[in-house]
């Protein structure tokens, strides 16, 4: 691996939000895994996973003292890199503003196992998803940029400045995080794609409750966010009588329209992934023009 490749690999590793936070916290000194977990506010499994990646890259190391394991940075020069990058960013305000002109930030939300990651991969042009999904996709942890998701899946990332995708994990711990800190999750977001698994009928109520929380935060904070609802996994072999339009109207659509504020537009699609992503518009509500 030549120097350019090594530099690229290093940038990919430290560019992940959680790994960057770990390194930032460790700048102040050695910590136990428990202390580190507490300071970055991530679950133990997430903390262990990111520590392992940083250790494999030779950026951090660990040592045992009694029953405790301590984590430390191997070479403090990495913080000189951080300082140089911060200095560069401060001189490039137009390039590194929170949102560049004509750039759309899209956030995929929904319950765990609803299919958000597979939809994101489809948006990014990934093919043959069925074989890939069954083996490799894991639950999304917190809010992740598309580059982090692809990196964790060992997939190539091609930057498209006009569209930036993010995904927010649907497990209860992350839904609670959204409820407590919605501003952080929705910062700079232009569009939310809420994914509801129509085959998981037992969780309709749970999913619509979470959807309502998102709507309330958009409304209370007067955010101008475009809203899409994907009724996902409407697959070709699905029992169309069981999941008829009348059924969807009664169980989902009528309830959704009751939840959506009068000043909020929404587009609702039936979606499916069978090697490639498909969507069909079934309803659209436009906000009033003032």
Q: Is the pLDDT of residue 141 over 90?
A: no
Distance of CA 91 to the CA centre of its chain: 29
Buried b or exposed e, range 95-129, using 16+ CB within 10 angstroms: eeeeeeeeeebbbbbbbbebbbbbbbbbbbebeeb
pLDDT-based confidence at 205, cuts 50/70/90? very high
Instruction: Specify the pLDDT at position 71.
Output: 92
More confident of the two residues 290 and 282: 282
In whole angstroms, give the CA distance from residue 48 to residue 110: 25
In whole angstroms, give the CA distance from residue 140 to residue 120: 12
Q: Is the pLDDT of residue 34 over 70?
A: yes
Instruction: Specify the pLDDT at position 72.
Output: 92
pTM above 0.95, yes or no: no
pLDDT-based confidence at 94, cuts 50/70/90? very low
**Stretch 204-230: mean pLDDT, rounded?**
94
What number of other Cβ atoms are within 10 A of residue 33's Cβ?
A: 16
Q: Is the pLDDT of residue 208 over 90?
A: yes
Contact in structure between 145 and 164 (CB atoms under 8 Å): yes
Strand partners, 168: 143
Contact in structure between 25 and 40 (CB atoms under 8 Å): yes
Q: Is 89 helix (H, G, I), strand (E, B) or coil?
A: helix
């Amino acid at each position: 691996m030549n120097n350019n490749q090594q530099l690229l690999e290093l940038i990919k590793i430290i560019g992940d939000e959680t790994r960057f936070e770990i390194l930032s916290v460790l700048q102040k000194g050695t910590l136990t895994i428990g202390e580190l977990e507490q300071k970055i506010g991530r679950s133990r499994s997430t903390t262990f996973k990111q520590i392992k990646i940083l250790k494999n890259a030779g950026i951090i190391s660990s040592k045992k003292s009694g029953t405790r394991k301590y984590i430390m940075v191997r070479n403090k020069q990495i913080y000189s890199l951080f300082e140089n990058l911060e200095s560069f960013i401060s001189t490039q305000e137009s390039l590194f503003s929170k949102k560049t002109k004509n750039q759309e930030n899209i956030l995929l939300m929904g319950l765990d196992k609803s299919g958000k990651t597979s939809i994101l991969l489809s948006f990014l042009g990934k093919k043959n998803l069925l074989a890939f999904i069954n083996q490799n996709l894991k639950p999304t942890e917190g809010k992740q940029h598309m580059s982090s998701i692809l990196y964790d899946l060992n997939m190539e990332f091609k930057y498209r400045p006009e569209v930036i995708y993010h995904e927010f994990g649907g497990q209860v711990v992350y839904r609670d995080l959204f409820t407590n800190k919605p501003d952080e999750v929705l910062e700079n977001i232009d569009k939310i794609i809420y994914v509801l698994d129509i085959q998981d009928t037992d969780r309709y109520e749970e999913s619509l409750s979470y959807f309502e929380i998102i709507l309330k935060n958009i409304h209370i904070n007067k955010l101008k966010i475009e809203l899409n609802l994907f009724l996902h996994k409407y697959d070709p072999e699905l029992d169309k009588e069981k999941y008829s339009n009348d059924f969807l109207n009664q169980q989902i659509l009528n309830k959704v329209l009751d939840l959506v504020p009068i000043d909020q537009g929404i587009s609702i699609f039936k979606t499916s992934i069978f090697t490639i992503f498909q969507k069909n518009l079934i309803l659209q509500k436009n906000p009033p023009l003032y």
